[in-house]
C-alpha cells in the first residue's frame, strides 16, 4: 500500500507537458534574444537534465523559432522597387 501511495505522489507531482512546453518556449526565447550568461547556461542545463521530456520540448521550441526566422525573411524580390524593375526589364526584352 505504501508503495502505491509513493508512486501516486510522484505521478501527481510530475510536471505537465504543457508546463514543460511553456518553460521550453521561455528558454528558447531567451536563447534567441541574446547569448546566455554562464549562470543562465548552467540553469538551462540543470533544467534540461531534470526531465528527458524537457530536451525534446526545447528542441521543438527552437525549431519553431528557426521556422519563424525563415518566414520573416523576405525574398530578394519582395521589395516593390525590385519587383517593378524586374517587370520593366522583362517588358523591354
Q: Given this model, what pLDDT does residue 86 score?
A: 56
- Residue pair 26/32 in contact (Cβ under 8 Å)? The answer is no
- Cβ burial of 71 (10 Å; 0-12, 13-18, 19+) is exposed
How many other β-carbons are positioned within 10 Å of the β-carbon of residue 61? Answer: 22
Q: Given this model, what pLDDT does residue 20 score?
A: 97
End-to-end CA distance of the chain: 86
> Each residue of 62-83: pLDDT tens digit?
999 888 766 666 666 666 665 5
Average pLDDT score over the chain? 79
Would you say residue 42 has pLDDT above 70?
yes
Separation between Cα atoms, residue 63 and residue 71, nearest integer Å: 12
Lowest mean pLDDT among 34-43, 50-59, 72-81: 72-81
Please report, for the chain, the start and end positions of each structural domain, with discontinuous segments joined by +.
16-92
Amino acid at each position: 500500500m505504501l508503495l502505491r501511495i509513493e508512486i501516486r505522489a510522484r505521478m501527481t507531482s510530475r510536471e505537465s507537458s504543457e508546463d514543460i512546453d511553456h518553460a521550453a518556449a521561455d528558454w528558447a526565447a531567451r536563447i534567441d534574444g541574446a547569448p546566455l550568461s554562464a549562470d543562465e547556461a548552467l540553469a538551462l542545463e540543470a533544467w534540461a537534465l531534470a526531465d528527458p521530456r524537457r530536451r525534446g520540448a526545447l528542441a521543438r521550441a527552437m525549431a519553431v523559432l528557426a521556422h519563424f526566422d525563415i518566414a520573416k525573411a523576405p525574398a530578394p524580390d519582395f521589395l516593390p522597387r525590385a519587383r517593378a524593375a524586374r517587370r520593366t526589364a522583362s517588358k523591354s526584352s
